[in-house]
Amino acid sequence: MFQEDDFKYIIQDTNCIYFGKELTYNEMMKRDDLPFKFKAIINSYIQKEIDLDTKIISHLMQISEEDFTYKIFEQLKLTVRICYKVYKKGITGKMKEKWIHKACSLKTYCKEYRNIDEFQIEDISISKLALMTISI
């Protein structure tokens, strides 16, 4: 059974910061475990292009290469983990569905996977090193 906050998380390891797919930018801003520098980026740049009550996955579904936030996410080396359905012929000749899991850059996601019919975003991550080196 799913609970309301199942996909609203921020997890960090030594390399990346991972965001749950159901988080809105406002919810991120209220979290203590989100690095201050990313909060400053949201406050300074992201809120100029999109309402902060928008979920991060909704933002990624409509982002374009001309958007300033796209350029920011590229600088942060944003990675989107997705899964999508493919159909393959089995040994018996029957068509079987198979889910493929893949992590890809924002550019690859926008060009190749965003327009697939049946796909889901699992989570989003940014590089800690890229966050550290970006200047606000």
Query: Which CATH number does the domain housing residue 51 bear?
Result: 3.30.465.10
Domain presence at residue 2: no
pLDDT grade for 4, boundaries at 50, 70 and 90:
low
Q: Is residue 4 part of a domain?
A: no
Domain residue limits at 52: 10-133
pLDDT at 6 over 90: no
pLDDT over 70 (residue 3): no
39 lies in some domain: yes
Tell me which DSSP letter residue 134 carries. -
CA-to-CA separations, 22 to 42, 88, 96, 98, 103, in angstroms, rounded: 17, 31, 30, 24, 18
Q: Would you say residue 5 has pLDDT above 70?
A: no
Report yes or no on 1 lying in a domain: no
Residue 5 lies in a domain: no
Cα–Cα distances in angstroms (integers) from residue 132 to residues 16, 22, 60, 129, in the given order:
11, 25, 22, 5
pLDDT exceeds 70 at position 1: no
Residue 79 is assigned to a structural domain of this protein: yes
Domain count, the chain: 1
Per-residue confidence (pLDDT) for residue 136, from 0 to 100: 77
Identify whether 3 is part of a domain. Answer: no
Domain membership of residue 74 (yes or no) is yes
pLDDT at 2: 55
What tens digit of pLDDT does each residue of 31-74 get?
A: 999 999 999 999 999 999 999 999 999 999 999 999 999 999 99
Distance CA 112, CA 48 (A): 27
| pLDDT tens readout for residues 80-127 | 999 988 888 878 888 888 888 999 999 999 998 888 778 889 999 999
Q: Which residues are CB-contacts of 114 (< 8 A; sequence separation ≥ 6)?
A: 60, 61
